[in-house]
Amino acid sequence: MGKWKKRLANSWEFYVFLAIPITYLILFAYIPMTGLQIAFRRYTPIGGIWGSEWVGLRNIIKFFESYQFGRVVPNTLRLSVYALIAGFPIPIIFALLLNLMNNGKLKKTIQTVTYIPHFISTVVLVGMLVRFCSPVNGVYAHIISIFNLKGTDILAQPNAFPHLYVWSGVWQETGYAAIIYLAALSSIDPQLHEAATVDGAGKLKRIIHVDLPGIMPTFIILTILQVGKILDLGYTKAFLFQNTLNISKSQIIDTYLYTMGLGGGVPGSSSGSIPDYSYATAIGMTKSLISLALVVTVNKISSKVSETSLW
């Protein structure tokens, strides 16, 4: 105990600063977790969290047995895998090309122009795409009128939704994501490039044998983190793109969770639909547990295969 008091007296400033994030986590991360028990209750606002009936795993089983499970889960997985495949190579290629540029001003201009879309809000982005794809008065409408073609409402086509969702995200995030890879490329020892040049390696061979191995640890870490979000697409963009015609493809776990918890809930009462907070909480908790399991699994595989991992 004496050593602890001495250490506290000598480094009290460190512990004061450490107490701030710990307090923040306790208040805003761990204490709210007590609300997860709603997933195991038949929650009612009158009874509250502690006064509502305990139903165990009934809400989780209800989700797995729901007819919506066979639609929202495959939609979410298809969209996530599509975004993962399309979203990862492009920032890497873009960063490698930028790294080869010798014109500093042009390089900075291109980098600035490409990462500005990251700061456009999702609502504005969707509004831009809706205006662009409008078959009545959008850019798409003017193009088809020039060529005297018969247009269709792209936003109403279920099969068009995944492409609009993924590629709008690629356009918005490519420049910003490339910053991470540019930082990794800047940490590569220049002597490796000089040695490769002396050995007669051209730009392509230096990219393959020097640059790619240099950014591989960064790529692996980002991949592990992205796999953890494979079920967590966020509801905002999907919800804004969603309509009654494309809902067969645009209904994902997050939008379904929002609909059940806040957006109207399940039909059944004489006064209309009522939100089912317990059911929505059970869906969200199940999604989080699956994501945690995926991160742990992929991290374990990565540590054995590449010796690079989160922990």
Tell me the C-alpha distance between 221 and 184, whole Å.
12
126-148 residue pLDDT tens: 999 988 888 878 788 888 888 77
Examine the pLDDT at 192 and tell me if it is beyond 70.
yes
CA 188 to chain centre: 28
Q: Which residue segments constitute the domains of the chain, with CATH numbers given?
A: 2-51 (no CATH), 57-305 (1.10.3720.10)
Tokens at 32, concatenated: 């709210």
Tell me the C-alpha distance between 22 and 17, whole Å.
9
Residue spans of beta strands (DSSP E) within 129-277 = 266-269, 272-274
pLDDT score of 268 = 41
What is the sign, positive or negative, of the torsion defined by CA atoms of 187, 189, 193, 196? negative
3-state secondary structure of 54: strand
51-103 residue pLDDT tens: 889 999 999 999 999 888 999 999 999 999 999 898 888 999 999 999 888 88
The DSSP element (H or E) to which 87 belongs, if any, is: helix 69-87
pLDDT score of 94 = 92
pLDDT score of 101 = 85
pLDDT score of 193 = 83
User: pTM surpassing 0.85?
Assistant: no
213-238 residue pLDDT tens: 889 888 888 888 888 888 888 888 99
10-64 residue pLDDT tens: 788 888 888 899 999 999 989 988 888 999 999 888 888 888 899 999 999 999 9
3-state secondary structure of 307: coil
Tokens at 285, concatenated: 């908790």
Token pair 């291109």 in the structure block, residue: 110
Tokens at 218, concatenated: 């960064």
